[in-house]
Amino acid sequence: MPTTGVNGRRIFGLETEYGLIVRDEQGKLLSAPRAARELFAHGPDFSQQSATFLTNGGRLYVDVGAHPEYATAECDTVEELLAQDLAGDQLLLGLVSELKQRQPQWQVSLLRNNLDAAGNSFGCHENYLLRRFQAGRILTTALTSFLVARTALTGAGAVLPVPESQDWRFVISARAEQLTGEYSSGTTQERPIVNTRDQALADPGEYQRLHVIAGDTNISQLSGYLKIGGVLMVLSALEAGISFNDLLLTEPLTQLRALSMSANQSLQERIGHGVAAASKSLDSSGAESGVNPSFPQSPQTAFESKPASHGFLGADFLLTLTSGKELKASEYLIAIAERCGARKTDWQVPGLSDPQKFAQLWFSACEQLADPNGGELLSQLDWVAKAKLLIGSAKRHPSLTRIEAQRVDFLYHELTASLAAKLHAKGILPLLIPAGNIRRSLVEAPTETRAKLRSELIAAARQAGRELSVDWFRVALTGGGAAVDLPDPFATNSEQVPRFLAALNEEPWFPL
């Protein structure tokens, strides 16, 4: 397969939304807006947009809903992206530490997850740069079909309540039930698998941004690696004109929800808990009755009768193609990778520094998904690691309550409690990204994208004591004057830079 992307490269990034829970010395829960204000009290001035752009090339800010959000810099390798993303965790944990020093009696929890206790949704949005003339070839059912199937490897798992009972159920993807369609230009009232809002954040005549909002927020670095790497693999194949017409899924959203639910009964049976109660509270589509009433439920389909008796915890769900043929999720994901050329020794994909390593991990994870006993590699994926934590908790507490199960779920994602750090230290979750790379990403931008240039301009302006107006594609001195346009995400320099640097030492001009 020919190398694709732009000049054999691709740029991509992540936006991660965090849950923040703050209780004062009386145990009173602070409102979300006040909690955010307290967290950022000694951080960036959020009345100034430019303050939210950092010298590592990323952006840290308060998003709609008053939750913290971190957007990575533009990256061109998966390893660089994961380091940038993990740097966001460290930046926010630093702010949490400062808040605890100011208010030692307060309880502060920072969560890297997709749902809070009230069922409010947090997202992890993926962004991939496309050439505009190729976008029509990319935004097809082939892409959404793949995004549905990859959930079997990349879901973060979640414990959800069963309405009108004290029971609970387990889903492979917390995000799956929050989605409302395949494509849409909206992200708040509607939550599609792929957001089609045409906001390139670059030269709109040359580029388009693929905005995927279907993925879970991952704790496992392996899950994150497979999540991003899998999309890079499929994008390159689509750009090269490879056809997936015989691998299109019928009713992708309905199958996504059914796949997400496929491990529940097997897990409940494994721990001997609540199978009957959970089953009675589910409608015939496999979606929970009454859950998220603002979102439409899946229609009744043949997916309700699919047995979940094969593969690890029954999660190797049977997917139905538009031809009527059925494939296990593992078989489907292997077929996709083979179609992309991942078995070839000379296989190359923009953004994958080591395509052969990725392919080996991808095929191994799929094969272990098909194994009823799983395997060591499969256990390093988020939803599997969480399921095993629930099984272990049930052995210690045979009548595992909903509150106890949800506590396990939340602890897995709570960065301040650092269960994830313990799992990494014990080798339960692998460390793919060296700690030194993460520390470097706290302060340094990627060197091969425009993030490097934006970072240098911000640092120079701060040293000169000048205020800036900054966006992803422009850096300008506040009050008029010099500016540097950044329409090309691959550009690491600009002829506008010398004038901008010279203007830093000029007296700022303000109109009377």
Q: Which residues are catalytic?
A: 63
Contact 18, 111 (CB under 8 A): yes
Give how far Cα 211 sits from Cα of 130, 264, 398, 458, Å.
Answer: 10, 30, 43, 26
Counting Cα atoms < 13 Å in the Cβ hemisphere of 227 gives 30
Q: What angle do CA 244, 246, 249 make, to 5 degrees?
A: 85
Q: In angstroms, rounded to a whole number, what is the distance separating the alpha carbons of residues 331 and 459?
A: 50
- Angle CA(129)–CA(135)–CA(140) in degrees, nearest 5? 115
53 bridge partner residues? 59
d(CA 322, CA 346): 32
Tokens matching residue 388: 């095993």
Write the single-letter amino acid at 93: L
DSSP structure class, residue 499: H
Please state, in angstroms and rounded to a whole number, the distance separating the CA atoms of residues 40 and 34. Answer: 10
| CA gap 118, 211 in Å, rounded | 26
Question: What does the alpha-carbon distance between residue 505 and residue 87 come to, in Å, rounded to a whole number?
Answer: 32
| Distance separating alpha carbons of residues 92 and 196, to the nearest angstrom | 30
Task: Please tell me the distance from the alpha carbon of residue 127 to that of residue 10, in angstroms, as a whole number.
Answer: 11
What's the CA gap between 341 and 327, in Å, rounded? Answer: 20
3-class DSSP assignment, residue 394: helix
Q: Which residues make Cβ contacts (< 8 Å) with residue 157, sequence separation at least 6?
A: 170, 171, 172, 173, 174, 382, 383, 384, 385, 386, 387, 409, 412
Strand intervals (E) in 72-190:
107-111, 124-131, 158-161, 168-171, 181-184
d(CA 163, CA 76): 44
Residue labelled with tokens 């800036």: 468
Contact predicate 409/159, CB 8 Å: yes
